[in-house]
Amino acid sequence: MTVTTRFTVPLGSLTESTVKYEKEPISVTDDFQIEKTFDTWLVMLTAASRVIFGETHKNYKDTPETESGYTLKLSFYDEAIANRVQEGFNHAADLCRGTEVF
């Protein structure tokens, strides 16, 4: 089974973006202690209202699950890529708000 989730982010509504380092657990012991982790960098996008729309399709027969929220987290394994993605979203948001020219 393939699960597909996609998000719609109105770029002009973004108010903040940050890059945050986290260690994600990939293995836990029987008593729920974290055994192994891997490094990730999260690009966190924030909007002023619940305009970030998510839609999850678990299979082609079911109705998709939908949600809306203030934030979106994108996970990357490389800090340089996470920073470039953040810069790209910031630039696109500035263009959509008309604060920067092409």
Dist CA 43 CA 87 (whole Å): 10
Identify residue 3 by its one-letter amino acid code. V
Of the chain, the percentage scoring pLDDT greater than 70 comes to 95
User: Higher model confidence: residue 62 or residue 72?
Assistant: 72
Query: Once rounded to an integer, what is the mean pLDDT over residues 10-34?
Result: 88
Q: Tell me the sheet residues that pair with 40.
A: 22
Model pTM score: 0.79
Q: Where are the domains of the chain?
A: 4-97
Q: In the prediction, which pLDDT does 91 show?
A: 93
Query: Residue 28: its pLDDT value, please?
Result: 79
Higher local confidence (pLDDT), 87 or 63:
87
User: In sequence order, what E strands does 1-102 have?
Assistant: 4-8, 14-28, 34-47, 52-57, 65-69, 71-76
